[in-house]
Amino acid sequence: MKYLSTRGHAARPEFCDILLGGLAPDGGLYLPESYPQVSRAELDAWRGLSYAELAFEILSKFITDIPAADLKAICDKTYTADVYCFARPGDNAADITPVHWLEKGRFGLLELSNGPTLAFKDMAMQLLGNLFEYVLDKRSEQINILGATSGDTGSAAEYAMRGKHGVRVFMLSPHGKMSAFQRAQMYSLQDENIYNIAVTGMFDDAQDIVKAVSNDAEFKAKYKIGAVNSINWARVAAQIVYYFKGYFAGTTSNDQQVAFCVPSGNFGNICAGHIARQMGLPISRLILATNENDVLDEFFRTGVYRPRRAAETHVTSSPSMDISKASNFERFIFDLVGRDPAKVAELWKSVDAGGSFDLSQSAEFSRLGNFGFTSGRSSHADRLATIRQVFEQYGAMIDTHTADGVKVAWDCAGSVPAGVPLLVLETALPVKFAETIREALGREPERPAQLEGIEALPQRVEVMAPDVAAVKQFVVRHVAG
């Protein structure tokens, strides 16, 4: 399998060549030259496989430069009940991503938060950590990961990479904008290969720094800079697996279809669903849910993609979606415009300059319906009401981002054909957003015993202005030291 850049760079690398990086040399994002197709016979053979077995089958279609036996060993090491041991009472931890039915066979939650940081990011990041270690060992190399997080990516990356030889992690986060639990998960880590930088700005400021460093080819090469943000193709590939697993768990036959509702800020999670659908997974609808930062909902409603400035980005009670420049959206637009890299480069020339683009009158936008998308938005008041309703009606406690998904799923249920199960992708456990849970329900969220008192642990973090040069200096100082 060869990979191409959404902006047309001539090189066609293989998986391991792009694993350790982020952006392509021309600033684009990597995608497979073509999406592998899944036959009905394969779907039939895959129903009933364990998560690790299914991951191997799907990832084998994208990773052709790692020997099959080695890739299988990596999948088997990653997707175990010991790693994903936070399943709720009554769930089977061995399932890794069980469906929690709120209405049996009709409406449910695809549990993706049973990993060590209680967020869906663990599903891909744990695999990424093992892939990084494998490739670095084979090549006798080291890597310095530079990433940005709005809440969950950072902790998932740090827990996946802590103690991994040949790996340092430099994680940028928006100072004071995450929940106390999220900050504690990251900043309390004392591992020598983990560095936290709190940027005095919004997530988009941190993400822009990561992109700027990635676009500095000389610095990137000299200091072995890699990426774990969702711009990293390996993360998207890993997330494709749970769409297939969710389909099998949500249906009883491969003659059925399924619909997914996905809370989305950076478009990485739902991008994996889009690719699964392009591969032939019977997905009827992909429902995109945003919070008050509704740049993606605006596009799907109007055809206008208008990233907001940091000053226009709302600080909300679903902070991991407080994103107004969706990095992975370029991958979808590449497909929407017929995989025309010149068109994508033209559109993102405006975006990268702080502008927007309008496809509302284009032939490309008229084809949007072929991709099965619907979208909606949620507010703080919606989140509180949804958390209360789900708890009172179904006895289930959900986090704020999952609440955005449930609210939008209810709003958009009419777009889903009758008889098609609708699954909301759970994003995190409620304990990560205890303040809002208390506001909604007047009670504390459940907390795994392993994480009692985490907020009281000593924290190690450097607060810095959102300055590219200063972040580079920080990296250089700790790499050289």
Q: What is the DSSP string of 163-194?
A: T-TTEEEEEEEETT-S-HHHHHHHHT---TTE
pLDDT in tens, 192-216: 999 999 999 998 899 899 989 988 9
Q: Helix 152-161 vs helix 180-187: angle between axes, to the nearest 10 degrees?
A: 20
Closest-CA residue to 431 (of 398, 402, 406, 388): 398
The pLDDT score that the predictor gives to residue 91 is 67
Residue 136 main-chain phi, psi, to 5 deg: -65, -40
User: Residue 93, SS3?
Assistant: helix
The pLDDT score that the predictor gives to residue 456 is 93
Q: Distance between CA atoms of 99 and 218, rounded to whole angstroms?
A: 46
The pLDDT score that the predictor gives to residue 446 is 86
Tokens of 249: 């768990």
- Identified catalytic residue from 72, 121, 343, 472: 121
Among this protein's residues, is 121 annotated catalytic?
A: yes
The pLDDT score that the predictor gives to residue 215 is 85
Residue 89 predicted with pLDDT over 90? no
The pLDDT score that the predictor gives to residue 418 is 96
Top-confidence residue, 217 or 425: 425
Residue 327 main-chain phi, psi, to 5 deg: -60, -40
Provide mean pLDDT across the span 141-168.
Answer: 89
The pLDDT score that the predictor gives to residue 22 is 74
The pLDDT score that the predictor gives to residue 304 is 98
Q: Distance between CA atoms of 371 and 281, rounded to whole angstroms?
A: 12
Residue 93 predicted with pLDDT over 80? no
The pLDDT score that the predictor gives to residue 396 is 96
pLDDT in tens, 369-387: 999 999 999 999 999 999 9
Percent of the chain with pLDDT over 90: 84
CA dihedral 90, 93, 95, 100 (to 10 degrees): 40
The pLDDT score that the predictor gives to residue 211 is 86
CA dihedral 121, 123, 126, 130 (to 10 degrees): -130
Provide mean pLDDT across the span 71-89.
Answer: 89
Greatest alpha-carbon span in the chain: 61
Give, in order, the Cα–Cα distances in Å from 288 to each of 265, 266, 278.
9, 11, 17
The pLDDT score that the predictor gives to residue 230 is 79
pLDDT in tens, 309-352: 888 999 999 988 998 999 899 999 999 999 999 999 999 999 99
pLDDT in tens, 251-295: 999 999 999 999 999 999 999 999 999 999 999 999 999 999 999
Percent of the chain with pLDDT over 70: 98
Provide mean pLDDT across the span 221-226.
Answer: 91
Residue 87 predicted with pLDDT over 70? no
pLDDT in tens, 459-472: 999 999 999 999 99
pLDDT in tens, 99-130: 999 999 999 999 999 999 999 999 999 999 99
Poorest-confidence range of 94-98, 135-139, 330-334, 432-436?
Answer: 94-98
Tokens of 467: 């300055």
Residue 70 predicted with pLDDT over 90? yes
Q: Which amino acid is at 219?
A: F
Residue 151 predicted with pLDDT over 80? no
Mean residue pLDDT of the chain comes to: 94
Q: Distance between CA atoms of 78 and 81, rounded to whole angstroms?
A: 9
Burial class (CB in 10 A: 0-12, 13-18, 19+), 40: exposed
Q: Distance between CA atoms of 471 and 481, rounded to whole angstroms?
A: 15
Q: Distance between CA atoms of 48 and 471, rounded to whole angstroms?
A: 47
The pLDDT score that the predictor gives to residue 263 is 97
The pLDDT score that the predictor gives to residue 480 is 81
